[in-house]
A and B are shown apart, each in its own frame.
Chain A
Amino acid sequence: MDTKIRVYILQKERHISCSIIFLADDFRVSSEEDSKLLDSLSKETDLFLIFPKVLTKKISPKKFSTLYDAMGYAISETENESEAILNAFEYLDEVFKKHLYYLVVNQLSPFPIENLQRIFGLQLQTAVFSSYRTDYKDLEEIYSKEKEYTWWEKLLRKDEDFENEGLFCYSNSDDDYFLIPVNVFRKILEEYGNNNYYIDSFENYSFNTFIASSIQPENLTNSKLDEI
């Protein structure tokens, strides 16, 4: 896939796992807890931060990444979070070929990060996060942007204009942490990496929707990471 990020590596990889965080446009470390979580992530995993271009006007990516002992960071030219995370994964996997697990962090929230080593010991083959089938309300929200159609009519339409509007979203997740073994990530990249229609359709959705919709349901353990 064409990469839309510029990657800056600050130090060599040290762990078998890598945490990827796509920072929101208005990101800020808002509490001591956030700061501690970032510290813990960099202690237990190789921390990799993705800065949307607009955020670089408020935060210096290099200073911030160095402060939290990150392995590296990327500046994203795309606002599509899922695309930027896939780009980051592709780079990290291809250039380092070292990480067995990727922990994608949606939002900093309390989580027993010190348990990660124990989880890695389980040699997981499947991704770990909880997901749910997109329900009627979500579908209505996604497919009913144009009022003259009901969501169901719109879903069934074959017109090109409607072809690429969130049609691939069938699952979602409310989790903040997604543990994805490298083989699962590679499969996703292989399957969807060159499918721009698919990836573009998630432009207005978080990585949660992308990952939940992209992983086959049987590949999910359907467990929250902190419940293992």
Chain B
Amino acid sequence: MKYKQRGEYNKYPKEIEEGNLWRINESPPQWLIDQGKIIKITESGEYVFDTSPDSNGGLIFKSQRGGALATLPKDGYLLYSKEKGIIGLTEKQLNLLYEEKK
């Protein structure tokens, strides 16, 4: 599914391309595998990322250098774009900022 901004806020990408929005129960996309710090790959082929909890129930993903890459809000999404990098979004933020692109 593709999304475009309802208005304009340049902190966020104008559009979200298919595959650039990820939530935790889905298999990780390549952009997260490329930039996140992976601790191990399980026997079944699942990636385990280096994360730590934040104070709001979210998860801070570490970068390969060990610093914070992005914070995944509780029940939220990570969003990727070339220009803006990886950004965390709550479900509500997604609905307020974006609409489906038809």
Q: Which A residues are closer than 8 A to B by beta carbons?
A: 3, 5-9, 72, 74-75, 90-91, 94-95
10 smallest beta-carbon distances between A and B, as pairs? A9-B9, A6-B7, A7-B7, A8-B7, A8-B8, A94-B92, A91-B96, A6-B6, A94-B93, A94-B96
Cβ contacts under 8 Å, A6 to chain B: 6-7
B52 CB–A CB distance under 8 Å: no
Q: Which residues of B contact A8 (CB under 8 A)?
A: 7-9
Say whether B7 contacts A95, CB under 8 Å: no
Q: Hey, which chain A residues are within 8 Å of B10, CB to CB?
A: 9
Which residue numbers of B lie inside 8 Å of A, CB to CB? Answer: 6-11, 90, 92-93, 95-97
Min Cβ gap A5→B in Å is 8
B7/A90 in contact, CB under 8 A: no
Residues of B within 8 A of A90 (CB): 92, 96
Contact B9 A3 (CB under 8 A): no
**Chain A CB within 10 Å — which of B6, B93, B96 has the most?**
B96
9 extra interchain contacts, Cβ-Cβ under 8 A, other than A7-B7, A75-B7, A95-B97?
A: A3-B6, A3-B96, A7-B6, A7-B96, A8-B9, A9-B8, A9-B9, A74-B7, A90-B96
Residues of chain B with a CB closer than 8 A to A95's CB: 9, 93, 96-97
User: In the complex, which residue of chain B has the Cβ closest to the Cβ of A75?
Assistant: B7
- Chain A residues with CB below 8 A from B6, complex form: 3, 6-7
Q: Return chain B residues, CB-CB under 8 Å to A3.
A: 6, 95-96
Closest CB of chain A to B10's CB: distance in Å?
Answer: 7
- By a CB distance below 8 angstroms, the chain B residues around A5 are 7
B96 / chain A contacts, CB cutoff of 8 Å: 3, 7, 90-91, 94-95
Chain A contacts for B97, CB-based, 8 A: 95
CB distance from B35 to the nearest CB of A (A): 24
Q: Closest CB of chain A to B58's CB: distance in Å?
A: 13
| A-side contacts of B7, CB under 8 Å | 5-9, 74-75
